[in-house]
Structure 1
Amino acid sequence: MIDEFLAGDLSAVEEAIHKAAAAEILPRHRRLAEDEITAKSGPHDLVTTADRLAEEHLTASLTALLPGSVVVGEEAVDHDPAVYEALHGDAPVWIVDPVDGTRQFVRGEDGFCTLVALAVRGETLASWTYAPALGQMATAIRGAGAWLDGVRLSSGEPAPGAEIEVATSHPDYTTDAQKRALLGLRVPGVRPRPCGSAGLEYLAVARGALDAVAFSWEYAWDHAAGLLLVSEAGGEHLTVSGERFRLGGGNALPFTAARSARTAERVRALLTAQ
Protein backbone atom coordinates (compact mmCIF):
# COMPACT_ATOMS: atom_id res chain seq x y z
CA MET A 1 0.00 0.00 0.00
CA ILE A 2 2.75 2.44 0.89
CA ASP A 3 4.60 1.79 -2.38
CA GLU A 4 1.45 2.51 -4.37
CA PHE A 5 0.87 5.69 -2.39
CA LEU A 6 4.40 6.97 -3.04
CA ALA A 7 4.20 6.04 -6.71
CA GLY A 8 1.00 8.05 -7.10
CA ASP A 9 0.26 11.76 -7.22
CA LEU A 10 1.52 13.28 -3.98
CA SER A 11 0.15 16.73 -4.70
CA ALA A 12 -2.66 16.04 -2.22
CA VAL A 13 -0.07 16.01 0.58
CA GLU A 14 1.22 19.40 -0.47
CA GLU A 15 -2.35 20.67 -0.68
CA ALA A 16 -3.09 19.43 2.84
CA ILE A 17 -0.01 21.24 4.17
CA HIS A 18 -0.90 24.43 2.31
CA LYS A 19 -4.45 24.33 3.69
CA ALA A 20 -3.32 23.79 7.28
CA ALA A 21 -0.93 26.72 7.07
CA ALA A 22 -3.51 28.95 5.39
CA ALA A 23 -6.18 28.11 7.95
CA GLU A 24 -4.23 28.01 11.21
CA ILE A 25 -0.74 29.50 10.86
CA LEU A 26 -0.65 32.46 8.49
CA PRO A 27 -3.72 34.20 9.98
CA ARG A 28 -1.84 34.29 13.33
CA HIS A 29 1.52 35.37 11.90
CA ARG A 30 2.32 38.72 13.57
CA ARG A 31 -1.17 38.64 15.12
CA LEU A 32 -0.72 36.30 18.09
CA ALA A 33 -2.50 37.34 21.24
CA GLU A 34 -0.64 36.97 24.52
CA ASP A 35 -2.93 34.16 25.66
CA GLU A 36 -2.11 32.20 22.47
CA ILE A 37 1.53 31.70 23.54
CA THR A 38 2.63 29.38 26.36
CA ALA A 39 5.91 27.81 27.48
CA LYS A 40 6.27 24.05 27.73
CA SER A 41 9.50 22.84 29.39
CA GLY A 42 11.20 26.24 29.60
CA PRO A 43 11.19 29.85 28.38
CA HIS A 44 12.72 28.89 25.03
CA ASP A 45 10.32 25.99 24.42
CA LEU A 46 7.20 27.79 23.25
CA VAL A 47 3.92 26.55 21.84
CA THR A 48 1.15 28.62 20.28
CA THR A 49 -2.44 28.14 19.28
CA ALA A 50 -1.17 27.93 15.70
CA ASP A 51 1.01 24.92 16.57
CA ARG A 52 -1.85 23.02 18.17
CA LEU A 53 -4.54 23.76 15.60
CA ALA A 54 -2.27 23.20 12.59
CA GLU A 55 -1.25 19.80 13.98
CA GLU A 56 -4.89 18.85 14.51
CA HIS A 57 -5.67 19.95 10.94
CA LEU A 58 -2.78 17.92 9.51
CA THR A 59 -3.57 14.86 11.62
CA ALA A 60 -7.06 14.69 10.16
CA SER A 61 -6.09 15.39 6.55
CA LEU A 62 -2.97 13.24 6.31
CA THR A 63 -4.47 10.11 7.85
CA ALA A 64 -7.44 10.48 5.48
CA LEU A 65 -5.04 10.44 2.52
CA LEU A 66 -3.39 7.20 3.67
CA PRO A 67 -5.81 4.90 5.51
CA GLY A 68 -4.15 2.96 8.30
CA SER A 69 -1.49 5.58 8.86
CA VAL A 70 -0.88 7.32 12.18
CA VAL A 71 0.61 10.65 13.21
CA VAL A 72 3.50 11.41 15.53
CA GLY A 73 3.24 15.15 16.09
CA GLU A 74 5.21 17.34 18.42
CA GLU A 75 2.18 18.63 20.27
CA ALA A 76 0.49 15.22 20.56
CA VAL A 77 3.66 13.75 22.06
CA ASP A 78 3.91 16.64 24.48
CA HIS A 79 0.41 15.71 25.68
CA ASP A 80 1.04 11.93 25.65
CA PRO A 81 4.66 10.71 25.29
CA ALA A 82 3.41 7.20 24.41
CA VAL A 83 2.41 8.51 20.97
CA TYR A 84 6.11 8.54 20.05
CA GLU A 85 6.23 4.73 20.18
CA ALA A 86 4.36 4.60 16.86
CA LEU A 87 7.75 5.21 15.22
CA HIS A 88 8.64 1.63 16.16
CA GLY A 89 5.43 0.08 14.86
CA ASP A 90 4.46 -1.32 11.46
CA ALA A 91 1.92 1.33 10.45
CA PRO A 92 3.00 4.18 8.14
CA VAL A 93 3.77 7.22 10.29
CA TRP A 94 3.32 10.88 9.42
CA ILE A 95 5.88 12.81 11.46
CA VAL A 96 4.66 16.37 11.95
CA ASP A 97 6.14 19.57 13.31
CA PRO A 98 3.35 22.09 12.67
CA VAL A 99 5.48 25.18 13.33
CA ASP A 100 9.21 24.54 13.35
CA GLY A 101 10.86 27.72 14.55
CA THR A 102 8.15 28.71 17.00
CA ARG A 103 10.40 31.35 18.59
CA GLN A 104 10.80 33.03 15.21
CA PHE A 105 7.06 32.74 14.60
CA VAL A 106 6.27 34.33 17.97
CA ARG A 107 8.66 37.20 17.21
CA GLY A 108 6.83 37.87 13.95
CA GLU A 109 9.73 36.76 11.76
CA ASP A 110 9.41 34.75 8.53
CA GLY A 111 11.95 32.03 9.40
CA PHE A 112 9.60 29.22 10.38
CA CYS A 113 8.20 26.24 8.53
CA THR A 114 5.88 23.25 8.66
CA LEU A 115 7.62 19.87 8.53
CA VAL A 116 5.97 16.63 7.42
CA ALA A 117 7.68 13.30 6.80
CA LEU A 118 6.31 9.86 5.98
CA ALA A 119 8.16 6.93 7.53
CA VAL A 120 7.75 3.18 7.89
CA ARG A 121 9.62 1.13 10.50
CA GLY A 122 12.15 3.87 11.12
CA GLU A 123 12.89 4.70 7.48
CA THR A 124 11.87 8.09 6.11
CA LEU A 125 10.39 7.66 2.64
CA ALA A 126 9.17 11.16 1.77
CA SER A 127 9.28 14.65 3.25
CA TRP A 128 7.82 18.10 2.86
CA THR A 129 9.29 21.36 4.18
CA TYR A 130 6.94 24.30 3.74
CA ALA A 131 7.90 27.87 4.66
CA PRO A 132 4.55 29.64 4.29
CA ALA A 133 5.77 33.18 4.96
CA LEU A 134 8.52 32.71 2.37
CA GLY A 135 6.32 30.87 -0.13
CA GLN A 136 8.73 27.93 -0.41
CA MET A 137 7.97 24.20 -0.58
CA ALA A 138 10.79 21.64 -0.56
CA THR A 139 10.11 17.95 -1.11
CA ALA A 140 12.12 14.75 -1.11
CA ILE A 141 11.33 11.17 -2.06
CA ARG A 142 13.75 8.44 -1.08
CA GLY A 143 15.74 7.44 -4.15
CA ALA A 144 14.12 10.08 -6.36
CA GLY A 145 15.80 13.32 -5.32
CA ALA A 146 15.07 16.56 -3.51
CA TRP A 147 13.28 19.58 -4.94
CA LEU A 148 12.59 23.21 -4.03
CA ASP A 149 9.63 24.75 -5.85
CA GLY A 150 10.11 22.37 -8.75
CA VAL A 151 13.89 22.84 -9.06
CA ARG A 152 16.07 19.86 -8.22
CA LEU A 153 18.48 20.42 -5.33
CA SER A 154 22.16 19.51 -5.35
CA SER A 155 24.13 20.42 -2.25
CA GLY A 156 27.62 20.07 -3.74
CA GLU A 157 31.00 20.43 -2.04
CA PRO A 158 32.22 23.57 -0.28
CA ALA A 159 34.80 25.52 -2.27
CA PRO A 160 38.32 24.13 -1.67
CA GLY A 161 39.97 25.90 1.26
CA ALA A 162 36.87 27.93 2.10
CA GLU A 163 35.70 28.47 5.66
CA ILE A 164 32.73 26.25 6.43
CA GLU A 165 29.64 27.53 8.22
CA VAL A 166 27.91 25.24 10.71
CA ALA A 167 24.57 25.95 12.43
CA THR A 168 24.58 24.50 15.94
CA SER A 169 22.23 23.71 18.82
CA HIS A 170 21.04 26.38 21.22
CA PRO A 171 23.07 26.06 24.47
CA ASP A 172 19.87 25.58 26.50
CA TYR A 173 19.34 22.21 24.78
CA THR A 174 22.79 20.71 25.37
CA THR A 175 24.37 18.73 28.16
CA ASP A 176 27.81 19.66 29.48
CA ALA A 177 29.36 16.87 27.40
CA GLN A 178 27.58 18.08 24.28
CA LYS A 179 28.71 21.65 24.94
CA ARG A 180 32.30 20.40 25.06
CA ALA A 181 31.79 18.51 21.79
CA LEU A 182 30.39 21.59 20.07
CA LEU A 183 33.39 23.62 21.26
CA GLY A 184 35.38 21.45 18.85
CA LEU A 185 33.91 23.51 16.03
CA ARG A 186 35.65 26.65 17.28
CA VAL A 187 38.74 26.20 15.16
CA PRO A 188 40.22 28.12 12.23
CA GLY A 189 38.37 27.37 9.02
CA VAL A 190 35.02 26.72 10.72
CA ARG A 191 32.38 29.32 11.55
CA PRO A 192 29.76 27.97 13.99
CA ARG A 193 26.61 29.95 14.68
CA PRO A 194 23.34 29.33 16.58
CA CYS A 195 20.65 27.64 14.51
CA GLY A 196 17.25 29.03 13.66
CA SER A 197 14.43 26.81 12.46
CA ALA A 198 15.97 23.33 12.10
CA GLY A 199 13.88 22.64 9.01
CA LEU A 200 15.10 25.76 7.24
CA GLU A 201 18.70 25.07 8.24
CA TYR A 202 18.42 21.62 6.66
CA LEU A 203 16.98 23.23 3.54
CA ALA A 204 19.95 25.60 3.43
CA VAL A 205 22.32 22.61 3.58
CA ALA A 206 20.42 20.85 0.78
CA ARG A 207 20.69 24.00 -1.34
CA GLY A 208 24.41 24.34 -0.65
CA ALA A 209 23.81 27.68 1.11
CA LEU A 210 24.99 26.26 4.46
CA ASP A 211 27.75 23.71 4.89
CA ALA A 212 26.49 21.72 7.86
CA VAL A 213 24.40 21.56 11.00
CA ALA A 214 25.44 20.06 14.34
CA PHE A 215 22.53 19.22 16.63
CA SER A 216 22.34 17.72 20.11
CA TRP A 217 18.72 16.56 20.26
CA GLU A 218 16.96 13.81 18.34
CA TYR A 219 13.19 14.42 18.24
CA ALA A 220 12.04 12.93 14.96
CA TRP A 221 9.75 15.83 14.02
CA ASP A 222 12.72 18.22 13.90
CA HIS A 223 14.96 15.99 11.80
CA ALA A 224 13.09 13.44 9.67
CA ALA A 225 12.08 15.79 6.86
CA GLY A 226 15.38 17.65 6.71
CA LEU A 227 17.66 14.62 6.85
CA LEU A 228 15.93 13.07 3.85
CA LEU A 229 16.09 16.40 2.02
CA VAL A 230 19.84 16.66 2.62
CA SER A 231 20.50 13.01 1.72
CA GLU A 232 18.55 13.22 -1.53
CA ALA A 233 20.39 16.44 -2.45
CA GLY A 234 23.71 14.59 -2.16
CA GLY A 235 24.61 15.26 1.48
CA GLU A 236 25.33 12.96 4.40
CA HIS A 237 24.62 12.69 8.13
CA LEU A 238 26.68 11.12 10.90
CA THR A 239 26.54 10.87 14.67
CA VAL A 240 29.68 11.25 16.75
CA SER A 241 29.97 7.44 16.74
CA GLY A 242 30.29 7.50 12.95
CA GLU A 243 26.88 5.93 12.37
CA ARG A 244 24.05 7.49 10.43
CA PHE A 245 21.28 9.12 12.48
CA ARG A 246 18.53 6.68 13.49
CA LEU A 247 15.01 8.06 13.35
CA GLY A 248 13.83 5.91 16.26
CA GLY A 249 16.38 7.38 18.68
CA GLY A 250 19.25 6.07 20.74
CA ASN A 251 21.80 8.09 18.76
CA ALA A 252 25.23 9.14 19.98
CA LEU A 253 24.97 12.92 20.14
CA PRO A 254 25.71 15.47 18.81
CA PHE A 255 25.27 14.56 15.16
CA THR A 256 25.86 16.41 11.93
CA ALA A 257 24.19 16.68 8.56
CA ALA A 258 26.33 18.21 5.87
CA ARG A 259 26.26 19.06 2.19
CA SER A 260 28.77 16.30 1.36
CA ALA A 261 30.17 13.14 2.91
CA ARG A 262 33.59 14.74 3.23
CA THR A 263 32.17 17.72 5.10
CA ALA A 264 30.12 15.46 7.39
CA GLU A 265 33.23 13.50 8.33
CA ARG A 266 35.19 16.71 8.93
CA VAL A 267 32.51 18.04 11.29
CA ARG A 268 32.14 14.68 13.05
CA ALA A 269 35.90 14.57 13.65
CA LEU A 270 35.82 18.03 15.21
CA LEU A 271 32.90 17.04 17.46
CA THR A 272 34.93 14.13 18.83
CA ALA A 273 38.20 16.04 19.23
CA GLN A 274 37.52 17.37 22.75
Structure 2
Amino acid sequence: MTSPVDVTTLAELLRRAAQAEILPRFRRLGTDDVRAKSEATDLVTEADEQAERMIKAEAKQLWPGALFIGEESVAAEPALLDKLSSAELAIIVDPVDGTFNFASGVPAFGVMASVVSKGETVAGIIFDPMGDDWVMAEKGGGAWLRRPDGEAQRLSVATPVALEEMVGMASTGYLPNGKRAEIMGNLAKVRFLTNYRCAAHEYRTFAGGHVHYLMYNKLMPWDHLAGTLISEEAGAYARRFDGSPYLPHHIDGGLLITPDKASWELLRREVFTI
Protein backbone atom coordinates (compact mmCIF):
# COMPACT_ATOMS: atom_id res chain seq x y z
CA MET A 1 0.00 0.00 0.00
CA THR A 2 1.42 3.37 -1.03
CA SER A 3 1.21 6.05 1.65
CA PRO A 4 -0.64 9.24 0.61
CA VAL A 5 2.25 11.07 2.29
CA ASP A 6 5.64 10.64 0.65
CA VAL A 7 7.61 8.70 3.25
CA THR A 8 11.03 9.82 2.04
CA THR A 9 10.02 13.47 2.26
CA LEU A 10 8.62 13.01 5.76
CA ALA A 11 11.73 11.10 6.83
CA GLU A 12 13.98 13.91 5.61
CA LEU A 13 11.82 16.42 7.48
CA LEU A 14 12.36 14.52 10.74
CA ARG A 15 16.11 14.54 10.09
CA ARG A 16 16.22 18.27 9.40
CA ALA A 17 14.25 19.00 12.55
CA ALA A 18 16.65 16.88 14.58
CA GLN A 19 19.66 18.64 13.12
CA ALA A 20 18.19 22.11 13.58
CA GLU A 21 16.33 21.88 16.89
CA ILE A 22 17.29 18.72 18.80
CA LEU A 23 20.98 17.94 18.44
CA PRO A 24 22.19 21.51 19.14
CA ARG A 25 20.39 21.32 22.50
CA PHE A 26 21.65 17.88 23.52
CA ARG A 27 23.61 18.20 26.78
CA ARG A 28 23.18 21.97 26.51
CA LEU A 29 19.75 22.45 28.09
CA GLY A 30 19.41 25.22 30.66
CA THR A 31 17.34 24.90 33.81
CA ASP A 32 14.49 26.81 32.15
CA ASP A 33 14.58 24.53 29.09
CA VAL A 34 13.19 21.45 30.89
CA ARG A 35 9.75 21.21 32.48
CA ALA A 36 7.71 18.42 34.08
CA LYS A 37 4.27 17.55 32.72
CA SER A 38 2.22 14.87 34.49
CA GLU A 39 5.01 13.76 36.86
CA ALA A 40 8.68 14.30 37.60
CA THR A 41 9.81 11.77 34.98
CA ASP A 42 7.37 13.01 32.30
CA LEU A 43 9.36 15.85 30.79
CA VAL A 44 9.17 18.31 27.95
CA THR A 45 12.12 20.35 26.72
CA GLU A 46 12.71 23.22 24.34
CA ALA A 47 13.95 20.63 21.87
CA ASP A 48 10.58 18.80 21.92
CA GLU A 49 8.60 21.98 21.42
CA GLN A 50 10.78 23.61 18.79
CA ALA A 51 11.23 20.41 16.77
CA GLU A 52 7.48 19.77 16.75
CA ARG A 53 6.83 23.36 15.74
CA MET A 54 9.18 23.01 12.77
CA ILE A 55 7.81 19.63 11.68
CA LYS A 56 4.22 20.83 11.98
CA ALA A 57 4.84 24.01 9.95
CA GLU A 58 6.53 22.16 7.08
CA ALA A 59 4.05 19.26 7.16
CA LYS A 60 1.15 21.70 6.87
CA GLN A 61 2.74 23.17 3.74
CA LEU A 62 3.54 19.80 2.20
CA TRP A 63 0.25 18.07 3.08
CA PRO A 64 -2.26 20.85 3.80
CA GLY A 65 -5.25 18.52 4.13
CA ALA A 66 -3.71 16.25 6.77
CA LEU A 67 -4.58 16.35 10.45
CA PHE A 68 -1.36 16.93 12.39
CA ILE A 69 -1.12 15.31 15.82
CA GLY A 70 2.02 15.89 17.84
CA GLU A 71 2.68 14.86 21.42
CA GLU A 72 3.22 18.45 22.53
CA SER A 73 0.24 19.74 20.51
CA VAL A 74 -2.02 17.26 22.29
CA ALA A 75 -0.52 18.22 25.66
CA ALA A 76 -1.67 21.78 24.93
CA GLU A 77 -4.99 20.75 23.32
CA PRO A 78 -6.14 17.27 24.49
CA ALA A 79 -9.29 17.33 22.33
CA LEU A 80 -7.07 17.13 19.26
CA LEU A 81 -6.59 13.42 19.88
CA ASP A 82 -10.32 12.77 19.48
CA LYS A 83 -10.13 13.79 15.81
CA LEU A 84 -7.82 10.92 14.85
CA SER A 85 -10.50 8.23 14.52
CA SER A 86 -12.45 10.20 11.90
CA ALA A 87 -9.58 11.81 9.98
CA GLU A 88 -9.18 10.96 6.30
CA LEU A 89 -5.44 11.53 6.62
CA ALA A 90 -3.31 12.18 9.69
CA ILE A 91 0.38 12.62 10.46
CA ILE A 92 1.33 11.71 14.02
CA VAL A 93 4.66 12.90 15.41
CA ASP A 94 6.74 12.38 18.54
CA PRO A 95 9.40 15.09 18.22
CA VAL A 96 11.68 13.62 20.92
CA ASP A 97 10.83 10.13 22.06
CA GLY A 98 12.87 9.37 25.15
CA THR A 99 12.77 12.92 26.52
CA PHE A 100 13.89 11.75 29.97
CA ASN A 101 17.02 10.27 28.39
CA PHE A 102 17.58 13.36 26.27
CA ALA A 103 17.26 15.69 29.26
CA SER A 104 19.58 13.43 31.26
CA GLY A 105 22.27 13.49 28.58
CA VAL A 106 21.75 9.84 27.61
CA PRO A 107 22.10 9.36 23.82
CA ALA A 108 19.05 7.10 23.46
CA PHE A 109 16.23 9.13 21.92
CA GLY A 110 14.51 9.32 18.58
CA VAL A 111 12.09 11.19 16.35
CA MET A 112 9.02 9.25 15.23
CA ALA A 113 6.23 9.79 12.74
CA SER A 114 3.40 7.71 11.38
CA VAL A 115 0.81 8.20 8.67
CA VAL A 116 -2.80 7.15 9.22
CA SER A 117 -5.17 6.94 6.25
CA LYS A 118 -8.87 6.29 6.90
CA GLY A 119 -8.22 4.72 10.28
CA GLU A 120 -5.29 2.53 9.23
CA THR A 121 -1.59 3.03 9.88
CA VAL A 122 0.03 2.99 6.44
CA ALA A 123 3.54 4.28 7.16
CA GLY A 124 5.93 4.55 10.07
CA ILE A 125 9.33 6.21 10.51
CA ILE A 126 11.80 6.19 13.41
CA PHE A 127 14.82 8.46 13.03
CA ASP A 128 17.88 8.08 15.27
CA PRO A 129 19.60 11.49 15.44
CA MET A 130 22.77 10.05 16.98
CA GLY A 131 23.17 7.29 14.39
CA ASP A 132 21.76 9.44 11.58
CA ASP A 133 19.58 6.74 10.08
CA TRP A 134 15.97 5.63 9.91
CA VAL A 135 13.96 2.47 10.28
CA MET A 136 10.77 2.78 8.29
CA ALA A 137 7.94 0.90 6.68
CA GLU A 138 5.00 1.32 4.39
CA LYS A 139 2.19 -1.17 4.80
CA GLY A 140 2.88 -4.19 2.62
CA GLY A 141 6.39 -3.06 1.71
CA GLY A 142 8.52 -4.59 4.44
CA ALA A 143 10.59 -2.85 7.12
CA TRP A 144 13.88 -1.20 6.27
CA LEU A 145 16.93 0.39 7.82
CA ARG A 146 17.86 3.31 5.57
CA ARG A 147 20.85 5.64 5.65
CA PRO A 148 21.27 9.11 4.12
CA ASP A 149 23.67 7.76 1.47
CA GLY A 150 20.87 5.58 0.09
CA GLU A 151 22.00 2.29 1.62
CA ALA A 152 19.06 0.12 2.67
CA GLN A 153 18.83 -3.10 4.64
CA ARG A 154 15.65 -5.14 5.06
CA LEU A 155 14.72 -5.90 8.68
CA SER A 156 13.40 -9.15 10.12
CA VAL A 157 12.33 -10.09 13.63
CA ALA A 158 14.16 -12.70 15.70
CA THR A 159 13.64 -16.42 15.33
CA PRO A 160 11.22 -17.66 18.03
CA VAL A 161 12.81 -19.35 21.06
CA ALA A 162 11.67 -21.11 24.21
CA LEU A 163 10.25 -19.01 27.04
CA GLU A 164 13.34 -19.38 29.22
CA GLU A 165 15.54 -18.12 26.38
CA MET A 166 13.51 -15.01 25.57
CA VAL A 167 15.15 -11.60 25.85
CA GLY A 168 12.93 -8.56 25.63
CA MET A 169 11.61 -5.27 26.88
CA ALA A 170 8.57 -4.43 28.98
CA SER A 171 7.33 -1.10 30.26
CA THR A 172 5.94 -1.97 33.69
CA GLY A 173 5.51 1.55 35.07
CA TYR A 174 1.90 1.88 33.93
CA LEU A 175 0.69 -1.56 34.98
CA PRO A 176 -2.20 -1.65 37.46
CA ASN A 177 -0.85 -1.52 41.01
CA GLY A 178 -2.32 -4.89 41.91
CA LYS A 179 -0.71 -6.56 38.91
CA ARG A 180 2.76 -5.05 38.79
CA ALA A 181 4.31 -7.32 41.42
CA GLU A 182 2.74 -10.39 39.80
CA ILE A 183 4.03 -9.49 36.34
CA MET A 184 7.49 -8.67 37.66
CA GLY A 185 7.56 -12.06 39.34
CA ASN A 186 6.44 -13.78 36.14
CA LEU A 187 9.26 -12.12 34.23
CA ALA A 188 11.67 -14.38 36.09
CA LYS A 189 10.54 -17.04 33.60
CA VAL A 190 12.27 -15.28 30.68
CA ARG A 191 16.02 -14.98 30.16
CA PHE A 192 16.31 -11.21 30.34
CA LEU A 193 14.23 -8.06 30.77
CA THR A 194 15.27 -4.51 30.01
CA ASN A 195 13.77 -1.10 29.26
CA TYR A 196 15.43 1.76 27.39
CA ARG A 197 12.87 4.39 28.43
CA CYS A 198 12.63 5.08 24.72
CA ALA A 199 10.09 3.27 22.54
CA ALA A 200 11.90 4.45 19.41
CA HIS A 201 15.01 2.44 20.23
CA GLU A 202 13.04 -0.48 21.65
CA TYR A 203 11.13 -0.85 18.38
CA ARG A 204 14.33 -0.49 16.37
CA THR A 205 15.97 -3.21 18.45
CA PHE A 206 12.99 -5.53 18.08
CA ALA A 207 12.48 -5.02 14.34
CA GLY A 208 16.19 -5.64 13.83
CA GLY A 209 15.84 -9.13 15.31
CA HIS A 210 17.73 -8.57 18.55
CA VAL A 211 14.98 -9.25 21.12
CA HIS A 212 11.92 -11.49 21.32
CA TYR A 213 9.17 -9.35 22.84
CA LEU A 214 7.95 -5.86 23.59
CA MET A 215 5.20 -5.05 26.08
CA TYR A 216 3.46 -1.75 26.75
CA ASN A 217 0.39 -0.97 28.83
CA LYS A 218 -0.14 2.73 28.10
CA LEU A 219 -0.76 3.39 24.42
CA MET A 220 -0.42 6.81 22.85
CA PRO A 221 -0.36 6.99 19.05
CA TRP A 222 2.90 8.94 18.78
CA ASP A 223 4.65 6.28 20.89
CA HIS A 224 3.45 3.11 19.17
CA LEU A 225 1.87 3.48 15.73
CA ALA A 226 5.14 3.78 13.81
CA GLY A 227 6.93 1.07 15.75
CA THR A 228 4.07 -1.41 15.60
CA LEU A 229 3.76 -1.11 11.82
CA ILE A 230 7.53 -1.40 11.39
CA SER A 231 7.54 -4.49 13.63
CA GLU A 232 4.68 -6.12 11.74
CA GLU A 233 6.34 -5.40 8.40
CA ALA A 234 9.46 -7.09 9.84
CA GLY A 235 7.34 -10.19 10.48
CA ALA A 236 6.01 -9.62 14.02
CA TYR A 237 2.72 -10.61 15.60
CA ALA A 238 1.23 -7.61 17.45
CA ARG A 239 -1.99 -7.58 19.45
CA ARG A 240 -3.57 -5.88 22.42
CA PHE A 241 -3.90 -7.99 25.56
CA ASP A 242 -7.40 -9.17 24.57
CA GLY A 243 -6.07 -10.47 21.26
CA SER A 244 -7.54 -7.67 19.14
CA PRO A 245 -5.51 -5.68 16.60
CA TYR A 246 -3.97 -2.40 17.74
CA LEU A 247 -5.62 0.50 15.89
CA PRO A 248 -4.67 4.19 15.69
CA HIS A 249 -7.41 5.39 18.02
CA HIS A 250 -6.59 2.95 20.83
CA ILE A 251 -5.03 4.49 23.93
CA ASP A 252 -5.51 1.56 26.29
CA GLY A 253 -5.81 -2.23 26.27
CA GLY A 254 -2.07 -2.90 26.34
CA LEU A 255 0.19 -4.14 23.56
CA LEU A 256 2.32 -7.27 23.24
CA ILE A 257 4.57 -7.80 20.22
CA THR A 258 6.45 -11.02 19.47
CA PRO A 259 8.06 -12.80 16.50
CA ASP A 260 5.04 -15.07 15.99
CA LYS A 261 1.59 -15.94 17.31
CA ALA A 262 2.81 -18.92 19.34
CA SER A 263 5.30 -16.74 21.24
CA TRP A 264 2.55 -14.17 21.84
CA GLU A 265 0.19 -16.77 23.28
CA LEU A 266 2.95 -18.25 25.46
CA LEU A 267 3.99 -14.88 26.93
CA ARG A 268 0.38 -13.81 27.41
CA ARG A 269 -0.38 -17.00 29.32
CA GLU A 270 2.80 -17.35 31.38
CA VAL A 271 4.03 -13.81 31.94
CA PHE A 272 1.69 -10.98 31.04
CA THR A 273 -1.37 -12.20 32.95
CA ILE A 274 -3.12 -8.85 32.92
TM over 0.5: yes
Number of residues of Structure 1 aligned to a counterpart in Structure 2: 269
Deviations, residues 144-202 of structure 1 (Å, cap 9, x unaligned): 1110121010113234576112211142x332145256336423334222342111101
Specify whether residues 126 and 18 from structure 1 end up closer, same or farther in structure 2 by C-alpha distance, changes over 3 A only. Answer: same
Matched with 2:26 is 29
CA distance in structure 2 between the partners assigned to 1:104 and 1:136 by the alignment: 19
- Residue equivalent to 1:214: 215
Q: Does 1:226 align with 2:227?
A: yes
Residue 168 in structure 1 maps to residue 187 in structure 2: no
Alpha-carbon offset, residue 266 of structure 1: 2.0
Query: Partners of 1:67 and 1:85 in 2: how far apart?
Result: 19
TM-score under structure 2 length normalisation: 0.90
CA contact (8 A) 1:110 1:134 kept: no
Q: Which segment is superposed worse, 103-112 or 181-190? A: 181-190
- Partner in structure 2 of residue 5 of structure 1: 4
Decide which moves more: 142-151 or 158-167. Answer: 158-167
The 3 A distance-change label for structure 1 pair 181 and 199 is farther
What letter is aligned with 2:192?
R
The residue type equivalent to 2:244 in the other structure is E
**Equivalent pair of 1:39/1:46 in contact (CA under 8 Å):** yes
Residue of structure 1 in register with 2:260 after alignment: 260
Measure, in 1, the Cα distance between the counterparts of 2:160 and 2:36: 38
User: Identity of paired residues, percent?
Assistant: 31
Aligned equivalents of 1:242, 1:230: Cα separation in 2: 17
Q: What is the 5 A alignment of 1:168-207?
A: 168-171=170-173, 173-180=174-181, 182-183=183-184, 185-207=186-208
- Structure 1 residues 116-195: aligned runs within 5 Å: 116-149=113-146, 150-159=152-161, 163-171=165-173, 173-180=174-181, 182-183=183-184, 185-195=186-196
**Superimposed CA distance per residue, residues 13-72 of structure 1 (whole angstroms, 9 cap, x where no aligned partner):** 122111111110010011111110000000110000000011111111122222300111
CA displacement 1:113-170 (0-9 Å, x = unmatched):
0000000233110011001012221110000111012101011323457611221114
Instruction: Say if 2:7 and 2:123, in contact at 8 Å, map to a contact too.
Output: no
Task: Classify the secondary structure of the residue corresponding to 1:252.
Answer: coil
Distance 1:113 1:4, change over 3 A: closer
Distance 2:219 2:163 in 1: 31
Q: In structure 2, do the counterparts of structure 1 residues 4 and 190 end up closer, same or farther at CA, with 3 Å as the change threshold?
A: closer
Bigger shift: 79-88 or 222-231?
A: 79-88
Q: Output the CA distance in 1 between the equivalents of 2:241 and 2:64.
A: 38
C-alpha separation in 2, matches of 1:67 and 1:55: 16
Ranges in structure 2 where 5+ consecutive residues have no aligned partner = 147-151
Alignment of 1:11-160 (within 5 A): 11-149=8-146, 150-159=152-161
Contact 1:185 1:192 in 2 (8 A): no
Residues of 1 paired with 2:205 and 2:34: CA distance? Answer: 28
> Is the 8 Å Cα contact of residues 238 and 257 (structure 1) preserved in structure 2?
yes
Partner SS, residue 188 of structure 2: coil
The answer as to whether partners of 2:140 and 2:233 remain within 8 angstroms in 1 is yes
Quick check: 1:185–1:191 contact (8 Å CA) kept in 2? no
Question: Contact 1:166–1:210 (CA<8 Å) still a contact in 2?
Answer: yes
Q: Which letter does structure 1 place at the counterpart of 2:34?
A: I
Is the partner of 1:187 in helix, strand or coil?
helix
Report the CA distance shift for 1:28/1:138 in structure 2 as closer, same or farther (over 3 A): same
Q: What is the CA–CA distance in structure 2 between the aligned matches of 1:181 and 1:225, rounded to whole Å?
A: 30
Q: 1:75 to 1:161 in 2, by over 3 A?
A: closer
Q: Is the 8 A contact 1:147 1:153 kept in 2?
A: yes
For structure 1, the residue ranges without an aligned partner over 5 or more in a row are none
Separation of aligned partners in 2, 1:124 and 1:96: 13
Corresponding residue SS for 1:147: strand
